């Protein structure tokens, strides 16, 4: 038996410096530069009296005092807080009601309704804003319809309330998802007990189900408040014309649109925003810990018996259907319709205005066709590069003996606390400062770099759960047989993570494709993407072209979501 | 192949000491089993030998290669050790076929493709899996997966073979077959092997020597028969299948090898041969295996043993015979009998020779 005869075969001797070392340190360094690169200039600039790129400057705290004295800045802060708070209220009320109605009752067609309900999650707030404008704006379809029948429309989008409704409705799916996961996981026996003891449906809902959802409601409220603070598109489109400024539009107007930007002031406001969001994200982390503890108390993931709505079943269905129609189907539908018409009004028959001229025009103008093309390149190539980086980071964090893996994990998740506008300003400074990076500054690669930084946490969130499910024995077996860490990662872990990487790539593709808040600080002629082109066209009043470009974005994302859910069964949220 | 030396091995996880001061020498070609209850540190010891966990103290050497030496700061990563480790979970890579799984270690060693093909065929034939080369792991039964896991390890001729409960995932019948197969393979290959199990039958039937572990320490090292017949303490006795413990007090002193007179808590007396000297008045525990005890015919006095009055607490049919639960002076005993007892009281016959006398009271056997 030759197996027994031959002596042991030593594996190849390990090199003095294992291959893992340069790869792990290199990746960590790259993430470090990527995350701190844009933040350091912002923080530094906020304590300098001159511009960063000037020859001379001094350390000072004067910027903070100047910001506090800036006329109207108090109102800006007040508006920001009010908008975020109102948005949160709308999102939480709608999301919680929807979670109970679609998830816990015998409402007809609840699955279909919830599919539609989730749609705003996939679209950019920018596109949704245009949709709302097309339906409920001053010359919107619904507004005109109302006017022709009942006189002046009682609503306006150009107010804090109007903006909060748009933002709240588009963020309600987040509250919905969190509430649903808690409502369906918590122990149904508690509800059953209440019902057996004679408590009516609504009493049980109010006294038992709702309190059980409290941790989820609280967590998603902080999440939605944070997103409400970071909102750019809605205040830009509806706030600015009405003279309502919030922190993001303040940064945008003073940092980008102004011919002589006051860098000290902009950086200080950005640093302030960074600090607030950091605190909120820290709060989210703490609350999530508590939520988990609360949820696992329930143990089994049995599906609770749905509540019977009885006679209210159909009235509630109609109500829910109207809501979906008014907030999801109408804005998107009318926007798409607008893209295919020269003019849209309830007074004019549709057949007379149907046209493809908007799309023809988009592809006739090199600027706009280039924007579409750039969006694809940034999302496909950038998404692929970012997926590779994220996969590597996840493996180092979860499957290596790298000394600083804890720090790397923290660093990789930190961009959650960096608002898009702050990242945009930060990268803008970073690239203006560093010599030799000029060639990047006017190309789409600066966008790829900035987007990658922004969405590392989302990518990690898509990859890590799967990686944690892969048994440690599988990579340990490879190590024992003579494979070093890198070979093990490449030959064993990466192939096993393929579905998660596909999910990660899709999430990044969609996120990159709809991103605008970082891009508007960074794009240059030649490196426009759909998001920036939309804003430019909007400023020029080209509503038809805006609708056409937005339709392209919606269509691409819809195909993407459908494909991934159909083919790979990957969940894109939650 | 080579011998393995473990000296003073210690491993902590945070505040928990999983393994403490383990010393073991496994000779070239020897088959040693680590036996012990769940959580006693068997896997931790194997992982330290394979290099998967860096130990906190001690020394590990295979042949003339030092794998680990805490004092000199030597630690070879697992890939540099040429150990063969078969996991309890088998850890077959689900995205590779059987042949690819087996080929992986050869590819790492840059074995030429012709040679690789030959060796894969050879090793799959050895484990009788040559017909399954093209299958994926999920298309195999548990027993087949276990063979592939073994083949994947044998194919690169490891210096030592480490097996972590390789049979525990199989059902009882398959486990019997796999054990016989493994015993045959072991005599054919003659690899230096450490085998981890908490199944005493596996340990007794396969090993040259058994290492019984308890709470991170080695309780006893010895040949299977030695461990079975002369357990070092009640823990080992209990673990190796002796299930009846009688607390008693020594009345008449006995020197080593002599007979001691014992008194139970309720005043009944019996005699037993003591391997170690037992002082008069000291508390001891007498241990018996179920098959050593018999039902005494009513009123009879039997030679070579003591007859004791007991109370029947339970009876259950276990196929072919009855298992009877008894209460003797407060101690719970288990007896195997042909016939179920008909009355609540039963006279029990215990031999003078064959029981094991341990120093210490009832708590030592707990
Ligand atoms: N990664 C770890 N972190 C913390 N404690 C651990 C870890 N691995 C093992 N332990 C602890 O070390 C002790 C020994 O564990 P080990 O896995 O070696 O037991 P075992 O003898 O193999 O048990 P089993 O028969 O159940 O496999 C246990 O108390 C266990 O809880
Ligand atoms: Mg174990």
Distance CA A437, CA A424 (A): 16
Q: Are B92 and B145 in contact (CB under 8 A)?
A: yes
Q: Whose CA is nearest to atom 20 of ligand 1?
A: B39
Q: Are A52 and A45 in contact (CB under 8 A)?
A: yes
- Chain B stretch 60-89, residues whose beta carbon is closer than 8 A to a beta carbon of chain A: 76-85, 87-89
Residue A503 CA to ligand 1 centre (angstroms) = 35
Substitution target in A472, A482, A497 with the highest count of B β-carbons within 10 Å is: A482
Chain A residues within 8 Å of chain B (Cβ atoms): 1-4, 6-14, 18, 471, 473-474, 476-484, 487, 491-492, 495-496
In three-state form (DSSP H/G/I as H, E/B as E, the rest C), the secondary structure along B103-157 is HHHHHHCCCCHHHHHHHHHHHHHHCCCHHHCCCCHHHCCHHHHHHHHHHHHHCCC
ipTM of this model?
A: 0.82
CA distances from A37 to A30, A415, A450, A453, A523 (A): 10, 12, 10, 10, 18
What DSSP character marks residue B254? B
> What Å distances lie between residue A215 and A204, A211, A220, B201, CA to CA?
18, 8, 9, 52
Q: What are phi and psi of B334, to 5 degrees?
A: -125, 130
The answer to whether B93 faces chain A, any CB pair under 8 Å, is: yes
Residue of B40, B165, B195, B217 with the most ligand 1 atoms within 8 Å of its CB, for mutation: B40
pLDDT tens string A296-314: 333 334 556 677 777 888 9
What pLDDT shows up at residue B7?
94
How much of chain B, in percent, has pLDDT values that exceed 70? 95
CATH superfamily for B243-365 is Nucleic acid-binding proteins (2.40.50.140)
Q: Measured from the CB, is residue B58 less than 6 Å from ligand 1?
A: no
Is pLDDT of B292 > 50?
yes
Give B361's pLDDT tier (boundaries 50, 70, 90): low
Confidence check: pLDDT of B313 > 80: yes
B138 touches chain A (CB under 8 A): no
If you ran DSSP here, which 8-state letter would residue B322 be given? E
Give Cα separations from B311 to A200, B6, B323, B335, B337 (angstroms). 58, 49, 14, 12, 15
* Contact (CB<8Å) B2/A8: yes
- Residue closest to B358 by CA, chosen among B297, B288, B284, B300: B284
**Contact (Cβ atoms closer than 8 angstroms) between residue A125 and residue A173:** no
- Per-residue confidence (pLDDT) for residue A194, from 0 to 100: 65
The H or E element that residue B24 is part of is: strand B16-26
Yes or no, beta carbons of B82 and A496 under 8 Å apart:
no
Rg of the Cα atoms in chain A: 26
Range list for CATH 2.40.50.140 in chain B:
243-365
Cβ <8 Å between B93 and A4: no
Q: CA-CA distance, A126 to B248, in Å (whole number)?
A: 86
Is the beta carbon of B41 within 6 A of some atom in ligand 1?
A: yes
| Beta-bridge mates of residue B322 | B317, B337
Distance in angstroms (rounded) separating the CA atoms of residues A246 and B303: 102
d(CA B347, CA B311): 9
Q: Coil, helix or strand for A157? A: coil
A31-41+356-574 folds as MetI-like fold (1.10.3720)
Q: DSSP of B40-75, one letter per residue?
A: SSHHHHHHHHHTSS--SEEEEEETTEEEEETTTTEE
Nearest in space to B62 (alpha carbons), one of B133, B159, B140: B159
Residue nearest to atom 18 of ligand 1 (CA): B41
Residue B298 is encoded by which pair of tokens?
A: 């009513």
Give the predicted TM-score (pTM) of the model. 0.84
Q: Which residue has the tokens 């003579």?
A: A482
Q: Please state, as a whole number, how many other Cβ atoms lie within 10 Å of the Cβ of residue A74.
A: 11
SS3 B293: coil
Give the Å distance between the CA of B48 and the centre of ligand 1.
12
Which of A148, A470, A413 shows the shortest CA–CA distance to B91?
Answer: A470
Parse chain A into domains and list their residue ranges: 31-41+356-574, 80-267+276-354
Interval between CA A471 and ligand 1 midpoint (Å): 16
- Structure-block tokens of residue A353: 């205005």
- The tokens of B330 are what? 């407060």
The CATH 3.40.50.300 domain(s) of chain B lie at: 4-238
- Ligand 1 atom closest to B34 (CA): 21
Q: Which fold has domain B4-238?
A: Rossmann fold (3.40.50)
Whether B297 shows a pLDDT value over 60: the answer reads yes
Superfamily of domain A80-267+276-354: MetI-like (1.10.3720.10)
User: Is ligand 1 within 6 A of the CB of residue B42?
Assistant: yes
Q: Atom 29, ligand 1: which residue's CA is nearest?
A: B39
Cβ of B198 less than 6 Å from ligand 1: yes
- Beta-carbon-side half-sphere exposure of residue B264 (alpha carbons within 13 Å): 19
CB contact (8 A) between residue A476 and residue B108: no
Cβ distance of B79 and A482 shorter than 8 Å = yes
- Do B104 and A483 count as a contact with CB atoms less than 8 A apart? yes
B79 and A496 in contact by Cβ < 8 A?
A: no
Residues of chain A with pLDDT under 70: 1-14, 55, 182-199, 201, 256, 289-305, 567-574
Question: Which residues of chain B does A484 touch, with a Cβ-Cβ cutoff of 8 Å?
Answer: 77, 79
Per-residue model confidence as pLDDT tens digits over B72-105:
999 999 998 989 999 988 899 999 999 999 999 9
How many angstroms does the Cα of residue B164 sit away from the middle of ligand 2?
7
Region B197-206 average pLDDT: 86
- Name the percent of chain A lying above pLDDT 70: 89
More confident residue, A25 or B229: A25
């Amino acid at each position: 038996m030759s197996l027994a005869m031959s002596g042991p075969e030593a594996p190849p001797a390990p090199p003095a410096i294992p291959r893992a070392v340069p790869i792990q340190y290199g990746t960590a360094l790259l993430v470090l530069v990527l995350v701190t690169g844009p933040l350091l200039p912002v923080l530094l600039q906020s304590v300098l009296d001159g511009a960063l790129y000037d020859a001379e400057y001094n350390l000072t705290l004067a910027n903070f005092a100047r910001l506090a004295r800036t006329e109207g800045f108090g109102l800006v802060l007040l508006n920001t807080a009010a908008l975020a708070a109102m948005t949160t209220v709308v999102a939480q009320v709608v999301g919680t009601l929807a979670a109970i109605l679609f998830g816990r009752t015998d409402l007809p067609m609840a699955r279909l309704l919830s599919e539609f309900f989730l749609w705003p999650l996939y679209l950019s707030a920018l596109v949704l804003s245009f949709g709302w404008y097309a339906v409920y704006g001053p010359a919107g379809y619904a507004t005109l319809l109302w006017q022709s029948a009942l006189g002046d429309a009682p609503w306006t989008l150009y107010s804090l309330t109007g903006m909060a409704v748009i933002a709240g409705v588009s963020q309600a799916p987040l509250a919905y998802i969190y509430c649903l996961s808690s409502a369906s996981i918590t122990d149904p026996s508690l509800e059953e007990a209440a019902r057996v003891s004679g408590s009516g449906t609504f009493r049980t809902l109010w006294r038992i189900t709702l309190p059980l959802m409290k941790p989820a409601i609280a967590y998603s409220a902080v999440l939605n408040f944070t997103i409400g603070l970071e909102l750019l598109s809605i205040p830009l489109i509806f706030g600015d014309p009405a003279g309502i400024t919030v922190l993001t539009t303040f940064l945008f107007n003073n940092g980008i649109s102004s011919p002589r930007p006051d860098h000290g002031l902009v950086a200080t406001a950005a640093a302030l925003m960074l600090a607030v969001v950091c605190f909120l994200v820290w709060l989210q982390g703490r609350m999530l810990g508590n939520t988990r503890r609360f949820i696992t108390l329930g143990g089994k993931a049995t599906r609770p018996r749905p509540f019977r709505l009885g006679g209210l079943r159909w009235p509630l269905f109609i109500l829910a259907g109207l809501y979906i129609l008014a907030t999801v189907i109408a804005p998107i539908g009318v926007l798409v319709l607008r893209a295919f018409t020269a003019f849209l009004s309830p007074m004019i028959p549709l057949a007379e205005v149907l046209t493809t001229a908007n799309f023809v025009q988009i592809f006739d103008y090199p600027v706009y066709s280039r924007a579409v093309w750039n969006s694809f390149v940034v999302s496909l190539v950038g998404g692929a590069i970012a997926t590779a980086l994220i996969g590597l980071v996840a493996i180092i964090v979860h499957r290596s003996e790298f000394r600083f893996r804890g720090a790397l994990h923290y660093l990789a998740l930190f961009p959650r606390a960096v608002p898009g506008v702050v990242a945009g300003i930060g990268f803008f400074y970073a690239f203006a400062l560093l010599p030799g990076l000029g060639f990047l500054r006017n190309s789409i690669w600066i966008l790829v770099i900035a987007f990658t930084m922004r969405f590392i946490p989302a990518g990690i969130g898509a990859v890590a759960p799967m990686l944690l499910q892969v048994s440690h024995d599988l990579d340990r077996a490879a190590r024992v047989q003579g494979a070093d860490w890198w070979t093990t990662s490449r030959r064993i872990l990466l192939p096993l993570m393929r579905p998660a990487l596909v999910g990660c790539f899709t999430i990044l593709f969609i996120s990159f494709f709809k991103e605008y808040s970082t891009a508007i600080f960074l794009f240059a002629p030649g490196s426009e993407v759909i998001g920036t082109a939309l804003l430019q066209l909007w400023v020029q009043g080209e509503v038809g072209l805006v609708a056409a470009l937005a339709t392209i974005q919606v269509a691409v994302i819809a195909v993407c979501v459908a494909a991934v859910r159909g083919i790979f069964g990957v969940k894109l949220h939650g | 192949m080579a011998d393995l030396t473990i000296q003073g091995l210690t491993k902590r996880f945070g505040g928990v000491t999983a393994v403490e001061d383990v010393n073991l020498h496994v000779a070239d070609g020897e088959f040693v089993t680590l036996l012990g209850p769940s959580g006693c540190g068997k896997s931790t010891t194997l992982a330290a030998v394979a290099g998967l966990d860096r130990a906190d103290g001690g020394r590990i050497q295979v042949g003339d290669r030092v794998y680990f030496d805490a004092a000199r700061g030597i630690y070879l990563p697992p890939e540099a050790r040429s150990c063969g480790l078969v996991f309890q979970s088998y850890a077959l890579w689900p995205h590779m076929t059987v042949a690819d799984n087996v080929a992986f270690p050869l590819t790492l060693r840059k074995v030429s493709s012709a040679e690789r093909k030959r060796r894969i065929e050879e090793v799959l034939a050895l484990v009788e899996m040559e017909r399954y080369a093209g299958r994926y792991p999920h298309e195999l039964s548990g027993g087949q997966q276990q063979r592939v896991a073994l083949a994947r390890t044998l194919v690169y001729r490891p210096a030592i073979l480490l097996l972590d409960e390789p049979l525990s995932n199989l059902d009882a019948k398959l486990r019997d077959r796999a054990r016989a197969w493994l015993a045959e393979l072991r005599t054919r290959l003659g690899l230096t092997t450490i085998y981890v199990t908490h199944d005493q039958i596996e340990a007794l039937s396969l090993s040259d020597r058994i290492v019984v572990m308890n709470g991170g320490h080695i309780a006893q090292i010895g040949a299977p028969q030695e461990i079975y017949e002369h357990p070092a303490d009640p823990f080992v006795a209990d673990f190796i299948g002796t299930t009846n413990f009688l607390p008693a007090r020594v009345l008449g002193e006995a020197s080593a090898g002599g007979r001691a007179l014992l008194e139970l808590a309720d005043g009944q007396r019996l005699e037993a041969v003591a391997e170690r000297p037992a002082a008069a008045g000291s508390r001891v525990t007498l241990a018996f295996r179920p098959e050593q005890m018999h039902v005494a015919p009513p009123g009879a006095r039997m030679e070579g043993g003591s007859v004791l009055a007991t109370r029947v607490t339970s009876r259950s049919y276990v196929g072919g015979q009855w298992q009877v639960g008894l209460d003797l002076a407060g101690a719970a005993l288990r007896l195997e009998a042909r016939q179920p007892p008909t009355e609540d009281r039963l006279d029990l016959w215990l031999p003078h020779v064959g029981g094991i006398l341990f120093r210490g009271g009832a708590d030592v056997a707990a």
